[in-house]
């Protein structure tokens, strides 16, 4: 029993906190408004910790890579893993919808709001926002996280190219990375209380909506998504590290999964993912690149929901979703939505507008696309966020790097 508590104590406390929060959300909803500020405080601590954590983790990893070919190889393999597995998720979803067709009821309440937001913004403007900000201070906002990741990559590269003059700065980056890792561990000790409070809020606000007009497509998403989560992530972990990889991934993926489910935020889950990657034994120089970039650009859950949204819109309009050119276009849109739009502020909305414009979807189907996107968010976040860790395992495998010995829970 002592060994169990030592290895799984933090996870057990997290499960207890979330279970209590769920019960409060169901049976004592009046308490939720009192508890929510506690959850917000915890979430805010995570968000303010993530920015310096990202900077030191990415920059120090790049600065410590002496072989530039190795860096290029890692990024190339990472891109192939991201694109390949997102396409797999999209094709698997299409197959699932073909085997288990669903329909949805539509309403017109969200049309005007959807069509009026950012109507004058061009794709050129979005690309600029996708890659950069106009002032340094804006880099520190989590709304511009991809621009911050790119900046951190450039700082690490510049440090590595500075030779002897850059060694002192490399030492500073390494020290900062270690300090932020310990800060993260301190913040996560409040996880059982903070995530429990936030989970009570999620159960109260989202729970009743799951059984309304969109029950069938949501039932498909949650059923298929859970199956995808366990089957495909297990397969990826097995490819990466065999049977030991499967047990190690699921052992250390519990805390990130619960964090994602509670907060509905991939960014809030990033610290837990980095801890899990370290315990699984993923080399730090890979985890510190793949997981932060994947947090922005790699989204399995968004891939599944993108296909489902297009399918539901076609179903409402009576169009043939399974026509070959439609399917090919749907997979292409899904890659863009999952990888490109994910790095843009309000990227989910932009992705939805992209599919509406490409297919010429009329107004009556727009609300279904928007509402489904909101209601699948908890599971989509779990798939989006925790997929980064298993992707890092695959990159380790395909790059020929060796896994470090597995570590116990702290």
Residues of the chain above pLDDT 90, percent: 28
pLDDT at 206: 62
Average pLDDT over residues 347-355: 58
DSSP 203-254: HHHHGGGGGSTTHHHHHHHHHHHHHHHHHHHHHHHHHHHHHHHHHHHHHHSH
Of 71-75, 285-289, 341-345, minimum mean pLDDT range: 341-345
State the average pLDDT for the chain. 81
- Taking only the tens place, the pLDDT of each residue in 365-381 is 655 666 677 678 889 88
3-state secondary structure of 344: coil
Judged against a pLDDT cut of 50, whether residue 84 lies above it is answered with yes
Domains observed in the chain: 1-399 (1.10.3860)
- Taking only the tens place, the pLDDT of each residue in 222-241 is 999 999 999 999 999 999 99
pLDDT band at 346 (very low <50, low <70, confident <90, very high): very low
- For the chain, helix, strand, coil in percent to 5 are 85, 0, 15
Give burial (CB, 10 Å; 0-12/13-18/19+) of 30: exposed
More confident residue, 341 or 197: 197
| CA–CA separation, 294 and 287 (whole Å) | 10
pLDDT band at 111 (very low <50, low <70, confident <90, very high): very low
b/e 170-205 (16+ beta carbons within 10 angstroms → b): beebbebbeebbeebeebbeebbbbbbbbbbbbbbe
Average pLDDT over residues 30-47: 85
| CA–CA separation, 270 and 146 (whole Å) | 14
Judged against a pLDDT cut of 90, whether residue 112 lies above it is answered with no
Q: C-alpha distances in angstroms, 254 versus 2, 134, 313, 327, 406?
A: 20, 39, 34, 34, 15
| CA–CA separation, 380 and 372 (whole Å) | 11
Q: ∠ CA 340-352-98 to the nearest 5 degrees?
A: 100
């Amino acid at each position: 029993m002592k060994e169990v508590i030592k290895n799984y104590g933090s996870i057990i406390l997290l499960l207890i906190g979330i279970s209590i929060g769920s019960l409060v959300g169901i049976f004592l909803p009046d308490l939720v408004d009192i508890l929510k500020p506690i959850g917000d405080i915890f979430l805010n601590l995570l968000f303010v910790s993530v920015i310096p954590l990202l900077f030191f983790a990415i920059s120090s990893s790049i600065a410590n890579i002496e072989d530039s070919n190795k860096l290029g190889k890692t990024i190339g393999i990472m891109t192939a893993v991201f694109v390949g597995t997102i396409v797999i998720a999209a094709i698997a979803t299409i197959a699932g919808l073909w085997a288990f067709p669903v329909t949805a009821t539509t309403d017109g309440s969200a049309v005007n709001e959807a069509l009026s937001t950012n109507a004058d913004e061009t794709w050129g403007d979005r690309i600029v926002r996708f890659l950069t900000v106009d002032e340094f201070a804006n880099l520190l906002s989590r709304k511009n996280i991809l621009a911050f990741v790119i900046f951190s990559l450039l700082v690490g590269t510049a440090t590595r190219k500075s030779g002897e003059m850059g060694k002192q700065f490399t030492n500073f980056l390494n020290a900062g990375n270690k300090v932020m890792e310990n800060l993260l561990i301190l913040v996560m000790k409040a996880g059982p209380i903070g995530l429990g409070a936030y989970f009570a809020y999620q159960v109260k606000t989202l729970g009743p909506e799951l059984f309304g007009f969109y029950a069938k497509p949501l039932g498909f998403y949650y059923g298929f998504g859970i199956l995808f989560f366990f089957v495909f992530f297990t397969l990826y972990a097995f490819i990466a590290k065999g049977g030991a990889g499967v047990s190690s991934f699921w052992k250390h993926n519990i805390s990130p999964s619960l964090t994602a489910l509670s907060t509905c935020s991939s960014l809030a889950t990033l610290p837990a993912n980095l801890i899990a990657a370290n315990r699984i034994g993923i080399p730090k120089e890979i985890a510190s690149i793949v997981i932060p970039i994947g947090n922005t650009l790699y989204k399995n859950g968004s891939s599944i929901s993108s296909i489902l949204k297009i399918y539901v819109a076609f179903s409402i309009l009576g169009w043939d979703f399974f026509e070959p050119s439609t399917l090919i276009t749907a997979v292409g849109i899904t890659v863009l939505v999952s990888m490109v739009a994910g790095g843009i502020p309000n990227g989910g909305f932009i992705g939805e507008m992209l599919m509406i414009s490409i297919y010429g979807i009329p107004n009556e189907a727009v609300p279904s696309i928007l509402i489904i996107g909101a209601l699948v968010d908890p599971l989509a976040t779990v798939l989006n966020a925790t997929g980064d860790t298993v992707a890092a395992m695959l990159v380790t495998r395909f790059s020929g790097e060796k896994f470090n010995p597995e570590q116990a829970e702290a």
